[in-house]
Each structure stands twice: as C-alpha cells, then as structure tokens.
Structure 1
Amino acid sequence: MEETTVLTATPKKVKPLLDRSITTREVIFLLAVVFCLTPLITPPIALVMGLVVAQFIGHPYLHLNNKATHILLQVSVVGLGFGMNVTSALKAGREGILFTIVSITGTLVTGFLLGKFLKIEKKTSYLICAGTAICGGSAIAAISPVIKAEEKQISVALGTIFILNSIALFLFPAIGHALNLSETQFGLWCAIAIHDTSSVVGAAGRYGAHALEVATTVKLARALWIIPVAFLSTLIFKNKGGKIKIPYFIGLFVAAIVVNTYVPFVHKFSHYLTGFATAGLTLTLFLIGCGLSRKVLQSVGFKPLVQGIILWAIISVAALWAVTSLAQ
C-alpha cells in the first residue's frame, strides 16, 4: 500500500529514470570511476583520464561534479588521519607554521599588486590570490560568497587554479627527485606551493609516506587561514552580510589522528581506512580532470592565467628556497 502511494505520487519523475537506457558516455565514465578505485590507477593517471573524458567524451554528470569532489575530498582527507600519529603531526605543524604565515601574507600582497598591474577584474584577481595562498578550490568556494562573486568570476578563478594543479601533480615529484629533497622538505614544499589539497596529497603520496604526512598536516593547518582571510575579505569588499564557510572537516581529520594514536583497537582497521582514503583521493583527481572541459579552459582567459602562473612561480621558488635553506 505504501509502495503504491510513492509510485503514483511522482510518476513523471520516476518513469523517465526507469525507461531511459544508459548511454555509451555514461558506461565509459562509470568504468573509469571503477578503475580509479583500484590500485592499478595512480593519481596522475586518474587526472589524465579525467582530462581525456572532459575533452573527447564529456562528463555525463557535470552538474553534480563540484559537490561530489568537495564531499569526496573531505571524507578522504579525514580517512588519511587514521594513518597518522599525534607526535609527528604536531612536529610537522610546528615546522610549517612560519612558512604558512609568511607565504600566505606574501602571496596575497603580491597577487593584489600583480592583478592591478595586469588590470584584472578585482574579484577574479582576489579569488585567484586566495586560491594560490591558502588551499585552491576550497578557499575560492569559501570566499566567493563572502565577496559576492559572480559565477563567471568563480569559474575563471577555479579554472586557473585547477589547470596549475594538474601541472603540479606531475612537475613537483620530478623536481623533488632531481634536487634530492628529503621527504620532510618535499612535504613542506608541496603544502606551501601546490594550491589544492587533492593535488598536494597526490604529489606527496608519490614521494613517500612521511612526505604525505607532513604535506597533509601542513596543508590542512594552512586551510584554517580561510577563516581570517574571509573576515578580511568582508572588510576589503565591504560585504558585512557575507556568510563564511568554516572547514569543519579539519576537526574530524585531527580527531582521526588522535583516535589512531590513543585507541589501539583502531589499528586493526587503519590500513583499510587509509586505503579507502587513497582511492577516494585518486577518484577526486579523476573528477577534477573531468570538470576541466574545453569550455572551462577557454573561459579562463589570458590575463588571469598569466597572474596565476606568475604568482605560482613566485611562491614555488620562494618556498623551495625556504625549505632547502631552513628545513632539515
């Protein structure tokens, strides 16, 4: 009786879903998703697969992509916490705090001046600066409603950041090995110079387990700067009613580290949890690649991309000098 009521109440919504056959594009996409969840696919390969899908096949569920990557990234990062220890995490956090403060301040100031010089629209320039300074797409998503950015401005900023993220995933490990960086040095460098958490984890994970631990801890500590920067943004753009999104998942990440350190029972399952988290991050990079369609790439424009590249080059070189000179 209850089942009949549900079906007859929404026949127009249910029937098309039941009658519609799955398309070839959807089959290819879903098979790629399954492959990304296996150990056969590394984060860089997943990103390339996503780019291929975006350029030649098309994302069949593009309207859901942004929300899916957002949730999947947060869940995966929390899962990584079950493979970490409180003592080493605190050590990594202490090592990264000075780099974090200096680099965020320097990036925001340099980016502001660069945007003025290139005559880039103010809100677009600011979002690119915030994404480069803090944590890529997460910072842009958090700050855009505070400054009341338009969809076009958000798209340009996200496109710029994700293009550079894609390059960093391949470039950074190669440079790290060429310069014989230690895992601590590489982890710090990744956390400071690569924009998005997903690419930071992907690059650091390829370099080593300790590099991954350092990079993840420092990057998430860096992400907390979304809050003061968001408050600063309300003053700069005079939008007192702007809503600030606090990254609560960072608290869950810290809780996972604490549980893994002080609850021995969890050790039996921590290997599986971190394995699922790694697979989730690989899938996240695939979905990010799928979102970089030709339309997104074309919408970026020349000047914002130049601003992003110059800003990224400055912070990358400065951070590399800092970690090789000061970090052991």
Structure 2
Amino acid sequence: MKATISKSVYALTTIVILLGFINSATALALGFLFTLLFTNPLQSHSHKVISYLLKISIIGLGFGMLFKETLQTSKHAFGLTVCSIILTVTLGLLFSKLLKIDLKLGHLITSGTAICGGSAIAAIAPIIKAKSTIISVALGIVFLLNSIALFVFPPLGHLFNLTQEQFGLWCAIAIHDTTSVVGAAMAYGDEALKIATTVKLSRTLWIIPLSIFSIFYFKTKGEKISIPYFILLFIAAIVINSYSILPESMTATIVLIAKRLLVLTLFIVGSTLYVKDLKAFGIKPLILALALWVFISTVSLIYILN
C-alpha cells in the first residue's frame, strides 16, 4: 500500500512539474521532502535517470543559443575556468591530507567541486577504483551543497547587483553540478541561463585531463576515460538554431520542454538526498567540500566583480 502511494505521489509530482507549475528551487525541495515521507520508487535508477534527463535538457537548451555568442562566452571564461580548476584540485589534494580523509573520497569531492559535480564523480570513480560507499558519500555531499546553492546563489546575485552575464559566469564556476548551475541561472534570467550553460559545458570537457591526472596520481591502469560526447549534440543544436534551420516556434518549444525537464531533474536529485548516507564518514568530508566551495565561490566572485 505504501509503495503504491509513493509511486502515485511521485508520478503526480512529475506531471505537475512537466506542466510548468513548479520552479526549480521548489522542485528540489519537494524531492527532498519526498524522501522524508515516502520511498523513492526510482532509487536504484535515479542517478542514471538524472544523467539522461540532464543531457537531454542541455541539448534542448542549445536550441535557444547562437553560435557566435556562445563562442565569445567560452573564450571570455577560459582563463577563469582553467585557474579555478587547477586551484581547486590542488587545494583539494592538500586539504584531504591535512584533514586525513580517505584520499579517494577527497579526490572525488574535489573533482566534483572543480568541474561538474556528479558527472565528474561518476567519471573519475571507476578510474581510481573507488568503492560504492565512497561514491555515494561524495555524491551525497555534492548534491547537498548543490541544493543549498540553488536557494542561496540567486539572492546573493541580487545582493551584489550582478548582471545576467556576471551571475551566469559565477554560477558556472562556483556551483558544482550542471543541474543546479542551470537551475540557479534559470531563476536569475534567460541571459544568465545561456552563459551559465555554455561555460559549465566547456568546463565539463576538463573531465578528460582530470581523468588522465587521476590515472597517474592513483597509479591505476586499464580504465577507460569517460568523454562527454553529448556536448557535440549541444553544439549541433546551437548551430541549427544559429542558421535558423528549424522554425523559431519549434526551437522555442524545444527550449521550453528542456527547461521543464531540467526542473524535473532537480526534483529527482532532491529525492536522492539521504542524510543518513552522509554520516558514515563523519564531518571531515563535508568540511573539505565546504572549504573548497567557499574558496572557489569567493575567489571567482571577487574576480568577476573586478
């Protein structure tokens, strides 16, 4: 009976979200509330569903962007992206040793903070042969901080009088996971959304050099490097929109659907947050994640404001 109720509530919430009645922050909160009251019917498949929905959403958002503007944004953010990744990874390795955290757990948290949250963790975990418990904790911490970011960043953006461009760039650099980056930017404005998506996806490509570094650092062999090929489809969508290959009404509809799928993704992310999973490794991993997050958020904000 309880399982049936859980499935019904889950399905009903999904429908309401897809109809556009719920925004990104509310969807995330509802997901977390759902875990407190019900059993997640998709628990064993949630991370895969999140991954697929996120990729589809990102590709869909590409139909609302122009190639020239996207290229300019990527070039503008390149220096900040490179510096922030190098600094975050370096500090992550240092803090992990100082806090005496399991090095693999520390590296996964660092990777998630430096590049793209859950996607980076999922890519790096098999390379360093991380155990499932370590992966779960790293994902849990990153998703927890992402949840906070979704609520905190838009008000902070207004507090610091950030423009759409500045906020989009800040989101892409300072928020871990692409879902929350896009969710926070979407709440701030369409221009912020475009910039945040572009910069974050260009940042995602850094999974490849980080994977190579991880192989040498942990001295692992024979593991395949995960390459985010869906970015090619995102670029293709931008090209299609730039040359008006599809009618504007169609591309606008695709973008609308993509935004609603993204909100649904955030609901599913919220429904995977279980506080009990974070207790197994104590407070130190959370301290590491918070320290890295505060550092990169502060430094990038100062850079953007200046």
TM-score category, normalised to shorter length: over 0.9
Deviation at 1:268, TM superposition (A): 2.9
1:56 aligns with 2:34: no
Conserved? CA contact 2:105–2:134, under 8 Å: yes
The offset of 1:66, in angstroms, is 1.0
Per the TM alignment, residue 88 of structure 1 is displaced from its structure 2 partner at its CA by 1.0
Partner of 1:284: 265
Instruction: Provide the secondary structure at the position in 2 that maps to 1:158.
Output: helix
Does residue 1:114 correspond to 2:95, yes or no? yes
Choose which of 126, 141, 145 in structure 1 pairs with 2:107.
126
Deviant stretches of 4+, over 6 Å: none
Find the aligned partners of 1:296 and 1:190 in 2 and give their Cα distance. 27
For 1:70, the equivalent position in structure 2 comes to: 51
Within 2, Cα distance between the matches of 1:297 and 1:146? 23
Q: Name whichever of 180-189 and 54-63 sits farther off.
A: 54-63
Give the aligned residue type for 1:146: I
Q: Residue in 2 aligned with 1:324? A: 305
What code does the residue aligned with 1:173 have? Answer: P
Is 1:213 the counterpart of 2:201? The answer is no
- Deviation of the 1:299 alpha carbon: 3.8
Aligned to 1:99: 80
The residue aligned with 2:144 is: 163
Give the Cα separation in 1 of the matches to 2:246 and 2:292: 46
The alpha carbon displacement at 1:242 in A equals 1.3
Distance in 2, matches of 1:86 and 1:245, equals 26
Q: CA RMSD in A?
A: 1.3
Describe the superposition over 1:101-156 as per-residue Cα deviations: whole angstroms up to 9, x where unpaired: 00000000011111111000000000000000000000000011111111011111
* 1:21, distance to aligned residue in structure 2 (A): 11
The alpha carbon displacement at 1:243 in A equals 1.4
Q: Are residues 54 and 298 of structure 1, via their aligned partners in 2, closer, same or farther at CA, if it must alter by over 3 Å?
A: farther
1:159/1:300 contact within 8 Å kept: no
The answer on whether the counterparts of 2:115 and 2:207 sit within 8 Å (CA) in structure 1 is yes
Distance 1:24 1:93, change over 3 A: same
Paired residues, what number?
Answer: 306
Which of 239, 250, 253 is residue 234 of structure 2 equivalent to?
A: 253
Distance 2:45 2:284 in 1: 29
2:22 maps to a residue whose letter is I
TM-score by length of 2: 0.97
Which whole-Å CA distance do the structure 1 matches of 2:93 and 2:2 have between them?
50
Residue type of the alignment partner of 1:277: A
Partner of 2:16: 35
Query: What are the ranges of 5 or more consecutive residues in structure 1 without an aligned counterpart?
Result: 1-19
Give the alignment partner of residue 244 of structure 1, picking from 219, 225, 229.
225
Which whole-Å CA distance do the structure 2 matches of 1:166 and 1:21 have between them? Answer: 27
TM-score w.r.t. structure 1 length?
0.91
Deviation at 1:22, TM superposition (A): 6.8
Residue identity opposite 1:210 in structure 2: E
**Is there any run of 5+ residues in structure 2 with no aligned partner, and where?**
none
Match of 1:273 in 2: 254
Higher Rg? 1
Shift of 1:36: 1.4
